[in-house]
Copies of this chain bind each other. A is one copy, B any other.
Amino acid sequence: MTTPPRELALERARSHRDDDLQDLFTLLRQPSISAQNIGVEECAVLEESLLRDAGLSVRRLDAPGHPVIYGEWLGAPGKPTVLFYGHYDVQPADPLELWHSDPFTPTIRDGRIYCRGVADNKAQHFSHIAAIRHWLKANGSLPCNVKIMLEGEEEVGSPHLDTIVTANKDILAADLVYTSDGPVTDDRYPEIEYGVRGLLYVEIEATGANRDLHSGHWGGVAPNPILALARLLNTMIDDENYVLIEDFYENVRVPTPGAQAALEKLPFDTAATIAGIGLTEMVPPADRSYAERIMFQPTLNIAGITGGYSGEGSKTVLPARASMKIDMRLVPDQTPDEIWEKISAHVDKHGKGITIKRLDGGMLPSFTPVEHPMGDIVRAAVERGFGTVPISVPSAGGSLPDSVWTQTLGLPSFLVPYGAPEQANHSPNESYRLERLYQGIETSIHLMDLLGQG
């Protein structure tokens, strides 16, 4: 009896873990901060080289922003085609002083790799690349057709992705889209997510006098822009954390029965999840479950604020300006355009001397039915790769430009996070468990195997 190709690929993956780590570390050492345009092109070149070494034919898709890398292997006519999506750009590393090791020097401590971007998203899309490479090196051909697309603008809201996908519909044609990003919600279970929340990101600025003023001569006379922002916030969110912007909830859709059923079956240990970030309870309202909050409720989060003096010691200044950044997570059927209209109308009405601007196009929420037939194959692959039955999360808390797959291409899209809850995405000391790197590579091998059989 010959060894099945899948087993040959798995064996090769297990005997080449050091090589995989070397390649991943090269990718991690290269900063690729899209918000600040630091190292993005250099990282794109590294990704092209990795895809070529894996055995794919590689090119760049025409893109107005940071490079979009595309690789394919289409030698299995009649078999299904999977499109892997990932992003090689990362968040800024600040606040730098809170990192225990340099953010761009990958460091292994206690079975984890610490580095900015390791979890979000380098180690995760690298798992697919490694799976393809091991299978091709072990067997010479893949069991299904494979496409992979890596973009460099995800962390700034993927402003050009829809344009690029629309322009390349034929090249990207597939039977399903498969994305590994973000952490699972509960460390005990691998999970499959069938949708994501959308995103709108705005910056609000308040201005007062024509210059910073001495507080003793002007306090109580000239307006304080920091106070103006605080007052505006209090017109936007109530004590129970409901958003007060008019009609903000107008298009929030009641989940489908299937989504609702999946939600209710979720085995989340909320107390443990909350304890993981050092808290003992969630913010109000008390009557809403953790899962509901991050799946079917929109949020308005203040991501940053700055104004006046915040250095050492004291400075008695009445600042001329202050600003804050706000991100809103959107659920079906909210849209960034609709919510932009509503929040900007709110600011115009309530904020004297206050202006709002939209920092990017935002992202639509996205949704794939839990019942889609491709879901069976994905669930089986994840169960084999992780050795545990996965849970079905009807909608993820975070945002990805997933609507380009479900709406622009009309495909089922599955988000399969290979990462763990404590990996600190977007925070200092972002990390990724070595064990999950190896489990992820094996899951991607099983996925190709099962697609080839299907």
Contact = CB atoms under 8 A, between A and B. Distances in A.
Contacts of A316: 199, 201, 301, 303, 327, 399, 426
A301 B209 contact: no
B304 A309 contact: yes
Given A301-B318, A303-B316, A308-B304, A282 B212 contact: no
Contacts of A426: 212-215, 315-317
Given A304-B317, A305-B226, A306-B305, A35 B311 contact: yes
A213 B300 CA distance: 14
A282 B290 CA distance: 46
A425 interface: yes
A305 B428 CA distance: 21
A452 interface: no
Report, as a range, how many residues of chain A touch the other chain.
35 or more
B211 A299 contact: no
Interface string A211-238: 1111111111111101101110110010
B427 A302 contact: no
Contacts of A230: 229-230, 233-234, 302
A219 B323 contact: no
A327 B36 contact: no
A290 B219 contact: no
Oligomer: number of copies: 2
Contacts of A226: 302, 304-305, 324
Nearest to A237: B227
Given A227-B237, A302-B224, A308-B325, A211 B314 contact: no
Given A211-B277, A217-B397, A223-B283, A314 B307 contact: no
Interface in A384-413: 396-399
A398 to B, nearest CB: 3
A413 to B, nearest CB: 17
A314 B219 contact: no
B219 A299 contact: yes
Contacts of A233: 227, 230-231
Interface string A179-212: 0001101000000000001010100000011111
A222 B278 CA distance: 10
B92 A211 contact: no
Given A211-B277, A308-B302, A219 B318 contact: no
Specify which of A156, A226, A314 lies most central, judged by the most chain B CB atoms within 10 Å of its CB.
A314
12 contacts: A209-B278, A211-B428, A213-B427, A215-B327, A215-B426, A219-B294, A220-B293, A220-B301, A221-B274, A224-B302, A302-B307, A317-B427
Interface of A: 34-36, 91-92, 94-95, 155-157, 182-183, 185, 197, 199, 201, 208-224, 226-227, 229-231, 233-234, 237, 239, 241, 274, 277-279, 282-283, 290, 293-294, 297, 299-319, 322-325, 327, 329, 359-360, 396-399, 424-429
